[in-house]
């Protein structure tokens, strides 16, 4: 039940409210519309994917407004966005870069060397547009940062500071540069895309696993293979001419490789996807540590068949370009509603180059509208996939606490990697089941004996 606090500053939720009436969720889906067959969702992105391209298409902020309005209503007129600016020493100890160094040549996806670098996850350049739009709408939009100072996390909120454990934000929390796998958010306030719903948007392997390959291309782990692995040979025997290999975390098209499917065994070693048995044994342990500390998605990769999207004409040059549809979906009271669809044209005219076949980190060439019938088709596909994904989240990412939800994700990932790679991840997981997670390490309310060890 929602009540207004004595100061009249906004909405206050109890922890029970957060479970029974989750705050609105926001998703941005990238969708391939083939010439034949149904649309396929190739990426499910989270609440902060940005709507700048739609602004260019429509010439106004209608899509941003459609996202901000239900958030403000859930937050009593207040939206609090939070970002972590400095990590704790323990986060540095278990960060992906250190784990990768410790597991050098251990079969992890070398995204930094995969032709296009992985982008900065803490980049905050996209914050200005929603802040300006919110303030124009009369929404109290607050930007809060969290720093590590000496031995604790400190919140910087409108010129005041307090310990993170004592922070009680007003309104709805809309995380920006924030890893919910490691840093708990207060349970007594509504959060846009709270922990269980945020996990599949930052773990594309998990998302497609939860969707059971329905409405999405068949997706498998890429890497952690032995030389000559039957699993690698099976991937290379796929029916599509091209295969997409990309980081499990997903980040604005960075780190994506497009390879001829039959040449994958030749190219896989250069991408760090193949390792000798001794290397995989060590990697299994480090992968589990990465899972426990929210870093594994930075180290793992997935493979999908490249499904040729529909070609569209560039509005200025007349050249034909490959296109990717984008659908923005808002979920209120567990009902998905697609608020906008459009299509991005890839940077180069259609051809055999990477820039002529898919979006890159440089962005697209143009944003165009979809015809009414096609737009309806894309809307239906987006709402169907989001509804199916959220139902799977509620069924399979359950737990009495955030720590147990994180462990549920780890269990699913261990099953997936054990079945789809040559890495003995399950054996390593059994050895580390009692190891504390990052979430537990930083949760002030966590009192299990593991945390005291």
The span from the CA of 214 to the CA of 241, in Å, is 21
Counting as low any pLDDT under 50, the low residues of the chain are: 1-20, 111-122, 447-453
The pLDDT assigned to 53 comes to: 81
The pLDDT assigned to 443 comes to: 81
The span from the CA of 283 to the CA of 427, in Å, is 12
Flag whether the pTM goes above 0.85: yes
DSSP H helices, 51-169, are 52-58, 62-74, 89-93, 96-102, 128-136
Contacts of 69 (CB under 8 A, 6+ apart): 137
No. of H helices and E strands in the chain? 16, 17
The span from the CA of 441 to the CA of 164, in Å, is 13
What is the Cβ-side half-sphere exposure of residue 353, based on CA atoms within 13 angstroms? Answer: 9
- Please choose, from the candidates 293, 239, 232, 300, the residue with its C-alpha nearest in 3D space to the C-alpha of residue 264: 232
The total of other beta-carbon atoms located within 10 Å of residue 284's CB is 28
The pLDDT assigned to 13 comes to: 35
The pLDDT assigned to 109 comes to: 60
The pLDDT assigned to 426 comes to: 96
Residue 226 DSSP one-character state: -
Q: Which residue has the tokens 């504390």?
A: 436
The pLDDT assigned to 355 comes to: 77
Contact (Cβ atoms closer than 8 angstroms) between residue 377 and residue 33: yes
- Indicate the burial class of 131 (C-beta count within 10 angstroms; 0-12, 13-18, 19 or more): middle
The pLDDT assigned to 126 comes to: 65
The pLDDT assigned to 232 comes to: 95
Contact (Cβ atoms closer than 8 angstroms) between residue 72 and residue 277: no
What is the Cβ-side half-sphere exposure of residue 108, based on CA atoms within 13 angstroms? Answer: 31
């Amino acid at each position: 039940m929602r009540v207004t606090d004595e100061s009249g500053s906004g909405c206050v939720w109890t922890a029970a409210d957060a479970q029974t009436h989750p705050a609105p969720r926001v998703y941005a889906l990238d969708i391939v519309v083939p010439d034949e067959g149904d649309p396929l969702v190739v990426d499910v992105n989270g609440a902060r994917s940005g709507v700048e391209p739609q602004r260019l298409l429509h010439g106004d902020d209608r899509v941003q407004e459609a996202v901000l309005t239900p958030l403000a209503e859930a937050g009593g007129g207040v939206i609090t966005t939070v970002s972590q600016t400095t990590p704790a020493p323990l986060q540095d100890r278990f960060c992906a870069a250190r784990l990768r160094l410790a597991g050098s040549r251990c079969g992890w996806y070398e995204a930094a060397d995969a032709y296009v670098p992985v982008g900065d996850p803490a980049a905050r350049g996209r914050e200005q547009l929603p802040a300006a739009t919110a303030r124009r709408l009369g929404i109290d939009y607050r930007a809060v940062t969290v720093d590590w100072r000496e031995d604790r996390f400190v919140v910087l909120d409108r010129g005041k500071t307090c310990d993170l454990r004592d922070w009680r934000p007003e309104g709805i929390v809309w995380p920006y540069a924030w890893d919910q796998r490691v840093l708990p958010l207060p349970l007594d306030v509504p959060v846009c895309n709270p922990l269980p719903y945020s996990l599949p948007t930052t773990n594309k392997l998990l998302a497609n696993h939860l969707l059971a390959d329905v409405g999405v291309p068949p997706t498998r782990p890429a890497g952690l293979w032995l030389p000559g692995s039957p699993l690698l040979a099976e991937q290379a025997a796929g029916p599509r001419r091209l295969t997409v290999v990309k980081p499990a975390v997903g980040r604005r098209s960075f780190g994506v490789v497009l390879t001829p499917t039959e040449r994958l065994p030749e190219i896989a070693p250069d991408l760090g996807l193949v390792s000798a048995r001794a290397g995989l044994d060590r990697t299994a342990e480090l992968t589990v540590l990465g899972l426990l500390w929210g870093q594994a998605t930075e180290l793992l990769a997935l493979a999908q068949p490249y499904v040729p999207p529909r070609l569209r004409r560039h509005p200025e040059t007349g050249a034909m370009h490959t296109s990717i549809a984008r659908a923005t979906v808002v979920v209120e009271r567990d009902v998905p509603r697609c608020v906008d669809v459009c299509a991005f044209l890839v940077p180069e005219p259609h051809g055999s180059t990477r820039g002529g076949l898919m979006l890159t980190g440089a962005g697209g060439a143009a944003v165009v509208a979809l015809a009414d019938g096609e737009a309806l088709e894309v809307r239906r596909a987006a709402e169907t996939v989001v509804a199916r994904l959220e139902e799977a989240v509620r069924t399979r990412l359950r737990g009495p606490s955030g720590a147990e939800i994180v462990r549920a994700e780890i269990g699913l990932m261990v099953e997936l990697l054990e079945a789809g790679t040559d890495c003995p991840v399950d054996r390593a997981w059994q050895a580390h089941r009692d190891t504390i997670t990052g979430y537990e390490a930083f949760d002030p309310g966590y009192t299990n004996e593991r945390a005291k060890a």
